[in-house]
Amino acid sequence: MGKRSIVVLALVLVALAALAVPGESQAPIKIGVIEPLSGPVAASGNYVRMGAEIARDWLNAKGGIGGRKIDLLIEDNKSDPKEAASAAEKLIVRDKVPAIMGAWGSSMTLAAMPKLEEYGVPMVVETSSAASITKRGNPWIFRISPPSEMEALGLEQYVDKLGVKRVDFLAVNTDWGRGAITAFGDMLTKKGATVGAKEFMDQSATDMNAQITKIKATGGDTLFLTTAVEQITLVMKQAQEQRLGRKIVTTGGSSSPTQLIKQAGAAAEGSYHIVFFMPWFPESMPDGKLAKAFVDEWAKRGHPSEGLTEGFRGHDGIATIAEAIRVAGKDDPKAVREALWNVSLMGVNGPIKFDKDGPAGKESGQSRPSIFVVQIRDGKVALPDFLAKK
Amino acid sequence: MTRADGWLLAAGALTLPLWLQSPYHLHVAIMAGIFGVLAMSLNLLLGYTGQLSLGHAAFFGIGAYTSALLTLKLDWSFWPALAVAVALAALAGFFIGRLALKLRGAYFVLVTISFAGVISLVSINWIELTNGPLGLPGVPAPALGPWSFRTKTAYYYLVLAACGLSYLVCRRLVMSRIGRALVALRENEPLAESVGVDVTHYLVLAAVVSAAMAGLGGSLYAHYTRFVSPEVFLFTYTVTMVIMVVAGGKGTLAGPVVGATLFTVLPEALRAAASWQWQMLAYGVLLVLLVFFLPRGIVPWLARVMAGSQAPAEPDSPTIRR
Amino acid sequence: MAELLQHLLNGLVLGGTYALLGIGLTLIFGLMNVVNFAHGEFYTLGAYVSFAALALAGIDFFAALVVAIVAGAALGWICEVLLLRPLRSESIDTTMLVMIGVWIAMQNAELLGWGGVAKSIPHPFPTAPLVLGPVAIAPLRLFVLVLAAALIAAAWLLTQKTKLGRAMRATFQDRDTAALMGVGIGRIHAATFAFGSGLAAAAGALLGPIFLVYPSMGDLASLKAFSVVILGGLGNLPGATLGGLLLGIAEELGAGYISSGYRDAVGFVIIILVLLLRPSGLFARQERIA
């Protein structure tokens, strides 16, 4: 028989064997992390990773869980759903993690979800906002970030004070952006505001002048903006160039006002931002001491301050999983899932406790995160007037 | 390749689940199989007609979406959905083949890129049909009578069957008069035309078969990952297919399969070998090195090595030079 | 009416940036037949070099532009000599694959070196817009548009009027004859690639301050550059310029009056139509299929 096929076969075997490095047992408790660490949203994914590492180090400094250290196994999903599914498979099967935190974007999370069900491993969702994640009847999902609907409800009480009468939307053309337009559009219509333009931009777009020109023609008073901080910067600069003259409200909690002040300068002045963490006033957070400690630790490690509004997600996600493992008393996926229903802890964002969401019998967990509004005033982040007086 | 080699490889592939202890490795094998189908599909165009399609993700995505939508929204079972997915992808291939048949080289590349770009934007913006960027979760696992392909082992055999079928189709096509006509076309189009090869006919045929196979890959992907989103049209998927074909050896039958295996295993092996910061960088560098040292691909190189010190052997089909 | 005028002005400015991206690629792709997916990475490189020179080394805007061009050209030269020269007899997809590898490696090296956080390049222009009747434009954008026009003109003069330019065109039209006439083929290949890469880096340095600088910024740039090249015809500098302007205006009007979700589809549809109806590009005189 021919030598060629033997060589081919051997190559395949060697390649597969390379994967089959035996995993170690015992010792540290492993927690899987799936984040976009390369690709277009690498900055955000890395902030979440940094926050997760802080949580790990803090827990380990206190002696770990039941004397066992915590080890984070970090995987890159490359902003690609296929990679998110592969990463989940690898973490669960090869590394045998009892729980995962991930996977930032909703489509990455949705792609990883069938793997959780297949193997029975819980995942704490730290950023994704698509409503469908907790509505699909996947009992292994526990979300600590707010879906867009929850965020919109959180803003409802301030709509009158913000003076929103005629609103336009500009959002990134993804599940997140589209979901935000629906949720905030419904809420604002209910509050009696009229909705003008609903415009979209591609995730990688850098020139939004066409959309801004179109929005300018509607004559509204407020622009709701949903996208990553880079695009928010560009939209603000381009809106200034075109003398748009609107009140801008950003949603989604990924706006990083600190970075906007640095990079958009005067163009960001007066804008409002929905955030889930206020590192500028840690004392105003539900747990002031914890928030302060997190901000200090972040600075001590030399992480960029603009990443704090994203980084806390990583901390809270890992803290939640660690607490569940502690409650369960063992690092077994099923026990951890049961324990997740019973955890009640204070995160940097605020209290974390899971309610049932989705079809009966197969509910996912959804926490009720705290939601805040800040404003950029005189080149600084400030509480809006209507909140500062309190 | 001798008959014995073929049987040996087939036996190896058939018993793979027995000696892969971990479902993770089986997952990698399934992905390699799906990409094997896709790479063979691209090779039909790139390797045998010399036309580079950089829009192949479009056919893949059309297959994935068609199959997912039919099973989710109309409650069809997997098999008819698969058939329609393949047919629709083939139709798209016919369309592109007819439209672009006058174009060659770089121009063909750009038409296919643009086609994929438009289809991708449709999948994002036609919310009523595709659910837009939210994607379609919950695509059902296929079943055949009482058997479900929900388990990895079962799905592996399904993918393996698709792979084998694609291989046989390619082999049949390449070894036939059609294949000779395609190679003649690739090597010297005016000459081929002058001896009576109907250029248009054969190019369209290759495009249709190639697109149909990509559609098959798409359908298999959708029912395996159980989730389809506009990311299936990502340019990286096409780039991955091209890497597999060219690195494996374009214009050879075994090349795409070897390429698909290698470049599905490599990123996963890098996960184990390098921390995340270095993985993609290493991937890029390895790719450059591989092409640099084996510009014709692995399989033609192996063929030469196997031929040993005898006269330099020709690969499965004439080397490609332009 | 004011809205339409503003759209047209936006389109013109955007088109100027596209033209700037396209002219470098039209040389590399059009003349050398290298499907250069790393083109956008040279654009990114230019932006980062300019950022480093301005924000870290503290030299002025124009000097930073020159440094970026030199860096882009130098790396382009190295790339050609090391990677493309040995593969010159291989087919178009082999060199394309090498450039795909370079693209992935460069982008991830940038991510590793600079981190994923977007950088903003400081510039000396006022941020308040220049108001011209019903429309407005940022002074920086106007300046970049003018400088882009100057750069394109310089590139055109270089290929048309200088000895190097003539040797370049001769080499890619008829390599053997050019060699017989005493043209150093190897040097011309390297010079052309370096020239195209330098232009990409110049685009990065110029557009960096308007947009932001981040590792994956080159992907969109590559895509737009390919569109521009095909609209204008391969290797055709004035064509690339017009193609860029056309693409910019078409996208702007498409987003403004049709649907912003389909904004990028406008470019794709134009490309398909151009290729089917006039495959040599909109502005070429004779057909150049195959």
pLDDT in tens, C233-246: 878 888 899 999 99
Preceding amide of A103 cis, omega within 30: yes
3-state secondary structure of A198: strand
Low-confidence ranges of chain A (pLDDT < 70): 1-26, 389-390
pLDDT of residue A112: 94
Region(s) of chain A under CATH 3.40.50.2300? 29-146+291-366, 150-275
Residue of A nearest to C216 (CA): A40
State how far the Cα of C124 lies from the Cα of A182, in Å rounded to an integer. 41
State how far the Cα of C102 lies from the Cα of C113, in Å rounded to an integer. 16
State how far the Cα of C22 lies from the Cα of C151, in Å rounded to an integer. 12
| pLDDT of C289 above 50 | no
Residue C285: pLDDT band (50, 70, 90) is low
C214/A230 touch (CB, cutoff 8 Å), yes or no: yes
State how far the Cα of C238 lies from the Cα of C243, in Å rounded to an integer. 8
* Chain A: touching chains (3 or more CB pairs < 8 Å): B, C
Distances in Å between the alpha carbon of B252 and those of B46, B48, C142? 11, 9, 54
Mutate to test the interface with B, among C99, C175, C263, C272 (most CBs of B within 10 A): C272
Contacts of B287 in chain C (CB under 8 A): 97-98, 100-101, 104-105
C271/B322 touch (CB, cutoff 8 Å), yes or no: no
Residue of C nearest to B98 (CA): C276
Q: Give the minimum alpha-carbon distance from A15 to chain B in angstroms, rounded to a whole number.
A: 7
Helix ranges restricted to H, B49-104 = 56-73, 78-100
Q: What is the DSSP letter of C82?
A: I
pLDDT of residue A10: 60
pLDDT in tens, A175-195: 889 999 999 999 999 999 999
Q: Cβ-count burial of B109 within 10 angstroms (0-12 exposed, 13-18 middle, 19+ buried)?
A: buried
State how far the Cα of A135 lies from the Cα of B72, in Å rounded to an integer. 16
Of residues C34 and C197, the one with the higher pLDDT is C197
B278/C106 touch (CB, cutoff 8 Å), yes or no: no
What is the Cα B235 distance to its own chain's centre?
14
Chains B, C: CB contacts under 8 A, how many?
133
Contacts of B277 in chain C (CB under 8 A): 112
A229/C118 touch (CB, cutoff 8 Å), yes or no: yes
Residue of A179, A44, A168 lying closest to A107 (CA atoms):
A179
Low-confidence ranges of chain B (pLDDT < 70): 1-3, 101, 308-322
pLDDT of residue A8: 55
For chain B, positions 125-154, list CB contacts with chain C under 8 A. 125
Residue of B nearest to C103 (CA): B284
Whether the CB of C137 is below 8 Å from some CB of chain A: the reply is yes
CA-based angle A318:A323:A327, to the nearest 5? 150
Contacts of C104 in chain B (CB under 8 A): 280-281, 283-284, 287
Contacts of B306 in chain A (CB under 8 A): 2-4, 7
pLDDT of residue A197: 93
* Fold designation for C2-277: ABC transporter involved in vitamin B12 uptake, BtuC (1.10.3470)
Q: Quick check: is B25 in a domain? A: yes
State how far the Cα of B293 lies from the Cα of C94, in Å rounded to an integer. 11
* Structural contact between residues C104 and B280, judged by C-beta atoms closer than 8 angstroms: yes
Q: Give the minimum alpha-carbon distance from B51 to chain A in angstroms, rounded to a whole number.
A: 27
pLDDT of residue B192: 77
B284/C103 touch (CB, cutoff 8 Å), yes or no: yes
A4/B225 touch (CB, cutoff 8 Å), yes or no: no
State how far the Cα of C26 lies from the Cα of C169, in Å rounded to an integer. 13
Count the neighbouring beta carbons within 10 Å of the beta carbon of residue A65. Answer: 23
* Structural contact between residues A51 and A312, judged by C-beta atoms closer than 8 angstroms: yes
Residue of B220, B291, B299 lying closest to B258 (CA atoms):
B299
For chain B, positions 77-106, list CB contacts with chain A under 8 A. none
* Chain C: touching chains (3 or more CB pairs < 8 Å): A, B
Mutate to test the interface with A, among C107, C260, C262 (most CBs of A within 10 A): C260
Contacts of B134 in chain A (CB under 8 A): 106-107, 130, 132, 175, 178-179
Residue of A nearest to B260 (CA): A12
* Structural contact between residues C191 and C164, judged by C-beta atoms closer than 8 angstroms: yes
H or E segment to which residue C168 belongs = helix C163-173
pTM equals 0.85
- Per domain, the residue ranges of chain C are 2-277
Q: Quick check: is B313 in a domain? A: no
Contacts of A136 in chain B (CB under 8 A): 137-138
Mutate to test the interface with A, among C212, C222, C223 (most CBs of A within 10 A): C212
Q: What is the DSSP letter of C85?
A: G
State how far the Cα of A129 lies from the Cα of A123, in Å rounded to an integer. 15
Of residues C115, C214, C256, nearest to A213 (C-beta): C256
pLDDT in tens, B33-88: 999 999 999 999 888 888 888 889 999 999 999 999 999 999 999 999 999 999 99
Q: What is the DSSP letter of A305?
A: G
State how far the Cα of B210 lies from the Cα of B40, in Å rounded to an integer. 8
For chain B, positions 241-300, list CB contacts with chain A under 8 A. 254, 258, 261-262, 265-266, 268-269, 271-273, 275-277, 279-280
State how far the Cα of C144 lies from the Cα of C139, in Å rounded to an integer. 9
What is the span of the domain harbouring residue B136?
3-234
Counting every residue, how long is chain A?
390
Chains A, C: CB contacts under 8 A, how many?
108
CA-based angle B136:B137:B141, to the nearest 5? 110
C10/A209 touch (CB, cutoff 8 Å), yes or no: yes
* Structural contact between residues C49 and C201, judged by C-beta atoms closer than 8 angstroms: yes
Whether the CB of B151 is below 8 Å from some CB of chain A: the reply is no
CATH code of domain A150-275: 3.40.50.2300
Domain A29-146+291-366 has CATH 3.40.50.2300: yes
Whether the CB of C1 is below 8 Å from some CB of chain A: the reply is no
Q: Give the minimum alpha-carbon distance from C167 to chain A in angstroms, rounded to a whole number.
A: 38
For chain B, positions 13-52, list CB contacts with chain C under 8 A. 46, 50, 52
* Structural contact between residues A169 and A199, judged by C-beta atoms closer than 8 angstroms: yes
pLDDT of residue B316: 45
Q: What is the domain count for chain B?
A: 1
Residue of A nearest to B126 (CA): A173
Q: Kind of pairing, strands A364-366 and A355-357?
A: antiparallel
Side-chain half-sphere exposure of C152, counting CA atoms within 13 A: 28
pLDDT of residue A203: 85
Whether the CB of B275 is below 8 Å from some CB of chain C: the reply is no
Residue of B nearest to C38 (CA): B284
Contacts of C106 in chain A (CB under 8 A): none
